[in-house]
Structure 1
Amino acid sequence: MFHYLKYFLFHIIGLTAASFLFLGDGWVIYGLIAVFSTYIVLDAVLGDDTTVPKFKHPVILTTQLWFALPLLALITFAFLWQVSSADLFGAGALIQSVTGIDVLASRAEGGAGVAFAAIILTGLMIGLIGTITGHELTHRTWDPTSLFIGRWLLAFSFDVAFAIEHVYGHHRYVSTTKDPATAPRGRNVYYHILRSTISGNISALHLEKERLNKTGHSAFSLRNSVLRGYLMSAFLVALAYLAGGVEVMLLFVAAALFGKSLLEIVNYMEHYGMVRNPETTPVQPRHSWNTNKRFSSWTMFNLTRHSHHHAQGEVPYHELRPYPEAPMMINGYLTTIVVALIPPLWHALMTPKVQHWDKHYASEEERILAQEANAKSGIRSLMKAA
């Protein structure tokens, strides 16, 4: 029973974030700090989870994923309500009548700092609730319901194109120069966010055009799932506009773009500096940075077990193995995100890991590719090893 319940931590975090957004004022700021602190502290003290339990009722685990869509819709509504001047659908009055808490008065006391914290908290939830679950669901190409829900989850971060590029592009070319999401050695994370976003969308459009051409259809039609994805995101933006005009719409766009940025930061972390020849070497567990930190694993549907995921992309999250012998990230996901956002600290911690990978994980061919990557990295210690 516990192994089913542990994945509901994901939903508890989402509901807690929505509660903070409704409470407003300082609660939004405290909630943001609490979420980051919880991940960083618990990943540090709880250690690794290397269990692979057997599940007799996998339908429960799939249903847990589907719950992410109404949960993210609730979080987004709470955000729009918080940054709007109107009491949307009478939510504030309803909360006060049930709990006795005057959330409308609390909202009125919030300022620019609260609005900024709300953007970051909502963007974090779009990444956590939306992108992580959307990633898992859009891999289930055999299940129309999962694909439908997964694509709508990705629409909140303007990234339905991810469902195409990630599954059919990234998984094929990961850890090579052909993959937009794989950051070469020495790249700055902020540049990577921009570069990977643009290149990833171009790749998705190209892949979808190839698919449609094979069936005799034009890429400029609603048969194009990437274009439909853009329309899905535009629909959400339009709802934000209806909720509070241009200002509320722009605040939602900011939260969505932050959620999208988190995806690219995670891509940066998961494959930074890896090299591989796609023509001669299939993807193996050693071509992804892994982590088995317990709290991240339980609340992110084992996204942390990235080495196995890339070795066998069709395996559902609850069957992923921990691969403790795989190359390891700095720590859990949010901790590593914080480190990645400080480039000098990132390179100081990751350069030794990359050098260790070259020595202990790379094949002979990959060591040659690594030397070429080191020479281009701009990092002195790597360039010396080239």
Structure 2
Amino acid sequence: MSSGGPMGWVDPKKYLWLLGLFVPSFPFLAWGLAEATGSGFFWWSGPVFLFGLFPVLDQLIGKDAANPPDSAIAALEEQRYYRWCTYLYLPLQYAGLIAGCWLWAHGGLSVADKLGLALTLGAVGGIGINTAHELGHKTEAHERRLAKVALAQTAYGHFFIEHNRGHHRRVATPEDPASARLGETFWHFFPRSVWGSLRSGWHLEKARLARTGKGPWRASNEVLNAWALTFALFGALLAGFGPEILPYLLIQAVFGFSLLEVVNYLEHYGLLRQRTASGRYERCAPRHSWNSNNVASNLLLYHLQRHSDHHANPTRRYQALRHFDEAPELPSGYATMIVLAYLPPLWRHVMDERVLAHYDGDLTRTNLHPSARARYGAAG
């Protein structure tokens, strides 16, 4: 049997998934290039790679819509090689963070250099949230624990609870803080999603404990123990390298979780699950997620851009996620779309017509932001 499954099928991207480990190498590349050239520009390598290099690669490399055959999926998911591609992200992630703290404290960097390094480390932590996303959906206890470890750097441990139990239940509805509405800019969505997700994660975990007759203030509260990892991590780093690193630790954390939120913004922008005759929302389908098959961003994000299949099969491993022809397609990969999301006029110019086309011009079927009704001419 070959590497992908029966009938001689071979996964053509099998060894390309190792390129995902390029991301946690950002701080080491920045350090090496800055030392070799004497230029502080390279401390900013993380944002440059994310917002400059990867959008270009999305266009140059193009798309791949091929799916593994159904008969190969079970065998493909069982191969432990793919799991190690995600597991190895974590030691590199934290080696980079420790190196960054040493550089902030003892590296003789200017304030501008330290800020660039903070954003570079934040890029690693932000993509690390996606690694946590992949691990946190799995049934194996050790992978779920590793997800919490990956989230500690960005102080976003509640994501582990809210995403799995909240977002996946409410996706593409006005009740979901992580589903962006038509006409809503990223800069309005960002605080709504951050605060709404935090509140949702806490209430979901509080309700889980209440069903067993327990209060929320206990070590078994998964939100609290996830946050405790962040306090322990930051406390250890501050004890080891001094309080002067605290502003940069906070900057990298905020930049890191902002990357998660901008991805949340573009994944379901304007899409709405309709009410059935019973008044309940219809089941989530491929048409409720924006997808992309751009190879560069997919390798960077462990196939996150095949988001429709992820919502249909949350425990399915990234290497087996499939493309659906009926899913709405983004004009480029996530790396490019993140840049557009930061620029609301350009985002609306590119995306609003796609949302309307997806619903044949019927605004009543979109997840329309209330304040945008006048702009789009919606009634009621």
Question: TM-score, normalized by length of structure 1?
Answer: 0.86
- Does 2:233 correspond to 1:236? yes
State the match for 1:168 in structure 2. Answer: 165
What residue in structure 1 maps to residue 42 of structure 2?
Answer: 27
Match runs of 1:155-304 below 5 Å = 155-277=152-274, 279-304=280-305
User: Who is 1:94 aligned against?
Assistant: none
SS of the aligned residue for 1:266 comes to helix
Equivalent-residue separation in structure 1 for 2:141 and 2:268 (angstroms): 29
Counterpart of 2:13 in 1: which secondary structure? helix
Asked if residue 7 in structure 1 is aligned to residue 28 in structure 2, the reply is: no
Contact 1:22 1:79 in 2 (8 A): no
Further displaced range: 245-254 or 323-332: 323-332
Unpaired stretches in structure 2, ≥5 consecutive residues: 4-11, 35-39
The residue type paired with residue 82 of structure 2 is L
Does residue 364 of structure 2 align to residue 368 of structure 1? Answer: yes
Q: Residue 130 of structure 2: which of 123, 129, 132 is its match?
A: 132
Amino acid at match of 1:221: R
Percent of residue pairs identical:
30
- Give, in whole Å, the separation in 2 of the partners of 1:81 and 1:271: 39
Q: CA deviation at 1:299?
A: 2.1
| Residues in 1 aligned to 2:46 and 2:89: alpha-carbon distance in whole angstroms | 20
One-letter identity of the residue aligned with 1:12: F
TM normalised by structure 2 equals: 0.87
Match of 1:348 in 2: 349
C-alpha change, 1:384 and 1:195, in structure 2 (3 Å) is closer
| Cα distance, 1:347 vs structure 2 | 1.2
- Report SS of the residue matched to 1:222: coil
Answering whether residue 380 of structure 2 is matched by residue 383 of structure 1, we say: no
1:237, 1:253 within 8 Å by CA — same for their partners in 2? no
Q: CA RMSD in A?
A: 2.2
Q: Which amino acid aligns with 1:137?
A: L
Q: For residues 17-166 of structure 1, what are the structure 2 equivalents within 5 Å?
A: 17-21=27-31, 24=34, 25-30=40-45, 32-53=47-68, 54=72, 56=76, 58-85=79-106, 107-108=107-108, 110-128=109-127, 130-140=128-138, 142-166=139-163
SS of corresponding position for 2:176 = coil
Q: CA offsets per residue over residues 199-239 of structure 1, 9 Å max, x none?
A: 10111111111111111211111110001111111112212
Offset of 1:16 from its aligned partner? 4.3
Structure showing the higher helix proportion among its residues: 1
Per-residue deviation at 1:145? 0.8
| 1:314 Cα deviation after fit | 2.1
- Unpaired runs of at least 5, structure 1: 86-106
Q: Deviations over 1:13-37 (max 9, x none)?
A: 3224423146543332356424533
* Superimposed CA distance per residue, residues 104-157 of structure 1 (whole angstroms, 9 cap, x where no aligned partner): xxx43x4222222112111111111x11110011001x2011001011101111
Contact 2:181/2:369, CA 8 A, preserved across alignment: no
The 2-side partners of 1:249 and 1:374 are apart by 37
In the TM superposition, what is the alpha-carbon distance from 1:197 to its structure 2 partner?
Answer: 0.8
